[in-house]
């Protein structure tokens, strides 16, 4: 699999994680490179589009992502 199509512009990594690049790389390896089906941000993106993804949504917040989709 390839990298997530959202990764180049993902505000989570470019804004929230800019100061901690080592941690950002670990999260990218787990959530963005390969299977991104468990990334909360990607779940909302696929269902509702990029404008519906909250800037403060962490990739691990799948329950919150599902609540956003179901709202």
8-41 per-position pLDDT tens digit:
888 888 788 888 989 888 888 888 888 888 999 9
pTM: 0.85
> Which residue range forms the structural domain that includes residue 34?
7-70
Alpha-carbon separation of residue 14 from 2, 19, 61, 66 (angstroms): 20, 9, 18, 24
Confirm whether 1 is domain-assigned.
Answer: no
Confirm whether 24 is domain-assigned.
Answer: yes
Confirm whether 35 is domain-assigned.
Answer: yes
In three-state secondary structure terms, 62 is: helix
pLDDT at residue 59, as a whole number: 92
Number of domains in the chain: 1
Q: How far is C-alpha 51 from the chain's CA centre? A: 13
Has residue 45 got a pLDDT over 90? yes
């Amino acid at each position: 699999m390839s990298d997530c199509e959202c990764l180049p512009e993902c505000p989570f990594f470019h804004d929230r994680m800019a100061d901690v690049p080592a941690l950002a790389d670990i999260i990218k390896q787990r959530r963005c490179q390969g299977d991104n089906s468990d990334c909360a941000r990607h779940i909302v993106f696929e269902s509702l589009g990029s404008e519906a993804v909250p800037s403060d949504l962490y990739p691990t917040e799948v329950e919150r992502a599902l609540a956003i989709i179901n709202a």
